[in-house]
Amino acid sequence: MPASTAPRRATALARRPAMIVESPANERVRAARKLARRRERARRGVFLVEGPEVLTEALDHLVEVFVAVDAPPAARAVAEAAEARGARRTEVAAAVLDALATTVTPQGVVGVAALDEPPGDEALATASLAVLCCGVADPGNAGALIRSADAAGADVVLLSAGSVDARNPKAVRASAGSLFHLPVVEGVDPRETLAAARARGLATLGLDAGGTLAHSEADLAAPSLLVLGAEAHGLPSEVAAGCDALVRVPMPGAARPGWRGRAESLNLAATAAVVLLEAARQRGAR
C-alpha cells in the first residue's frame, strides 16, 4: 500500500460507526428483554432503566446501555457518559430499542442497572424518617411513593413481602431516579419492622382514613416510621393495631357544605406525598 494512502484509510476506519444491532433476536438484547420479568430480575440481580433522565441518576449503577441510532442528543449524551463510567454501550436499530423498552414512546436509550439492597435492620438503624408499605401492588404508586420519600428527605423505604418489585420497569420510571437516591428494602415483615422501629425510638404512625389524628397535628418532626397499607384494602388490622397512632389526611369536602369535590380519599402515593411533605415542613423545609 502506498504510504500516502495509509493515513487516509486509518482515518476512514476510525470514523466507521460501531456495529449496529439490527435484530431483537440478538443474544444480549434478548437477555435484557427478559428483565421485564420479576423472576429474571431476582435471578440475575439487575433490572431495566429507561429514558435519559432516569439513566442520568443511575450512572454509577449501569452495567450496560443500549442506544438507538436515531436517539435524540440527550439520550446519546447519557449513553456516552455511561460508557465513560464503564458500562458496555451497544448501538441498536430503532426497532430493537422499541422492543427493549416497556414504554409506548421510548426515549432512545435503555440501560441495565445493578443496585445492592441493604438489610432492613441496617437501614433502620440510623433512620429519622422511614416509610413502610404493606402490600402495595401498583408499580406506579410504588415508584411515586419512593420519589416523594426522597423529596421529603426520608432515610429509607421498606416494602413488605407480597408488595410489587421496586425494580419493576414502571416503578423505576415513576421513581424518576429516586430509587438510586435512598435505600429501598423489599420483602420485610411488617410486624417485625414495627418492633424494630420502636426499639430504635421511632414513633410508628399508621396512615388510615379512619385515623383519629390529622396529619398536620401529628408530631412528624420526631423520629417516625410512617406505615401505609395497600391501595385497595388499607392497613391490615394487625398492623394498624401495632402502630402507636393512626393518622388521617382530612378531605376538604368533609367539613364544607356545598363543596364540589366528591373524592372521598387519596390514593397511596398521593397520601404518602401529603404526609411526607408535612413531615419535611415540620422539620424545617422551606
Q: What is the 3-state secondary structure (H, E, C) of 96-158?
A: HHHHHCCCCCCCCEEEEECCCCCCHHHHHHCCCEEEEECCCCCHHHHHHHHHHHHHCCCCEEE
User: What are the domain boundaries of the chain?
Assistant: 18-113, 120-282
As a whole number, mean pLDDT of residues 35-48 equals 95
Residue with cell 419535611: 280
This prediction has a pTM of 0.88
Please classify residue 266 by burial: count the beta carbons closer than 10 Å to its beta carbon, then call 0-12 exposed, 13-18 middle and 19+ buried: middle
As a whole number, mean pLDDT of residues 5-20 equals 47
CA 131 to chain CA mean position, Å: 14
pLDDT at 255 over 80: no
Single-letter residue type at 205? L
Single-letter residue type at 226? L
Q: 254 or 31: whose pLDDT is higher?
A: 31
Which architecture does CATH list for 18-113? 2-Layer Sandwich (3.30)
Query: b/e string for 59-88 if b means 16 or more Cβ within 10 A?
Result: bebbebbbbbbebeebbbbbbebbbeeebe
Of the pLDDT bands very low, low, confident and very high (cuts 50, 70, 90), residue 17 is: very low
Distant-in-sequence, close-in-space partners of 51: CB < 8 Å, separation ≥ 6? 75, 103, 107, 109, 173
220-239 pLDDT per residue, tens: 999 999 999 987 778 899 99
CB 112 within 8 A of CB 44: no
Domain 120-282, CATH class in plain words: alpha beta
CB 135 within 8 A of CB 100: no
Report the C-alpha gap between 62 and 154 in whole angstroms.
24
pLDDT at 278 over 50: yes
Closest of 241, 247, 187 to residue 222, by C-alpha = 247
CB 170 within 8 A of CB 146: no
Length of the chain: 286
Give the number of other Cβ atoms within 10 Å of residue 146's Cβ: 30
Distant-in-sequence, close-in-space partners of 224: CB < 8 Å, separation ≥ 6? 128, 129, 130, 202, 203, 204, 205, 279
